[in-house]
A = this chain, B = another copy of it.
Amino acid sequence: MTTSAPRRPRQDAVDNRAGILSAATAAIAHDPQASINTIARSAGLSRRALYGHFADRNALLAEIIDAGAKRFNRIALDVTDANAQVALARLTSLLWQQAAHVQVAASIALDDAHLEATGKALAPLRHAVAAILQRGQNDGTLRTDVDVTTLARLVEEAARAAITRVDASLPEARSLAVRTTLSMAGLSWRETVALLEAHPDILGAPAADGAAPADTAPAAGDAATAGDAATGDTPAAGAKR
């Protein structure tokens, strides 16, 4: 009696699961109180089916937070500029691409029930921010009239506001988010403008591998980056079954 080898999940089920996560991200970004039913339906599934993929609401939220945090933390590792001002600007610019995820993370992070979990998940990003700010304070390139901890919170709030409370479809949206963060970090608006002019790559393409820093970056790479980000890929398309 060989224990029957457990067949692996069906492909449509895998897709549906991913669809739920995606739909939930979009739905919660739009309304933190979105019901399970709303989420399931916007993923093209029945409420009942959703419970076949996630034990309960918390399990779903936990995974969303985790996914978002992983993106953020990976981004944070990518920012290696020695100049604190530049590092902060670039970090904001990259996070801006993850608007929907930032929105969701912010919503859930404000909820007492998930405060601890979100705190843990976002720790690497927060550490990275703190490190950048500390570095900037040490070399005098960032404000020193506020202690690092408080400054970190203010910068985080400013970034969140600029990323999530401004129409992301506006062409200046990204630049605006970056300038907002820098302002909060102590720079004057003229300094932020000058910095962005001196470092056009910050608002441009993410400077892939050894690619040439041409005028306009390869459309492919740019599109790919924007594809899985920004608006948060709402499926709306029906799920398979």
Once the chains bind, are A193 and B145 in contact (CB under 8 Å)? Answer: yes
The range of chain A's interface size is 20 to 34
9 residue pairs, one from A and one from B, having the closest CB atoms: A188-B188, A186-B189, A143-B189, A157-B161, A183-B183, A145-B189, A183-B184, A145-B193, A157-B165
- Tell me if A148 is interfacial: C-beta within 8 Å of chain B: no
Once the chains bind, are A150 and B166 in contact (CB under 8 Å)? Answer: yes
Partner of A165, one of B143, B153, B188: B153
- Tell me if A12 is interfacial: C-beta within 8 Å of chain B: no
Once the chains bind, are B154 and A180 in contact (CB under 8 Å)? Answer: yes
Q: Which residues of B contact A166 (CB under 8 A)?
A: 150, 153-154
CA distance A192 to B166 in the complex (A): 25
Find residues 158-205 in chain A having any chain B CB closer than 8 Å to their own CB: 158, 161-162, 165-166, 176, 179-180, 183-184, 186-193
Once the chains bind, are B184 and A184 in contact (CB under 8 Å)? Answer: yes
Find residues 57-106 in chain A having any chain B CB closer than 8 Å to their own CB: none
Partner of A162, one of B154, B176, B193: B154
CA distance A183 to B181 in the complex (A): 10
Q: Which residues of B contact A192 (CB under 8 A)?
A: 145
- Tell me if A131 is interfacial: C-beta within 8 Å of chain B: no
- Tell me if A123 is interfacial: C-beta within 8 Å of chain B: no
- Besides the known contacts A143-B189, A158-B161, A186-B188, 18 further A-B residue pairs in the complex with CB atoms under 8 A apart: A145-B189, A145-B192, A145-B193, A146-B179, A153-B166, A154-B161, A154-B162, A154-B166, A154-B176, A157-B161, A157-B165, A158-B158, A158-B184, A161-B161, A183-B184, A184-B184, A186-B189, A188-B191
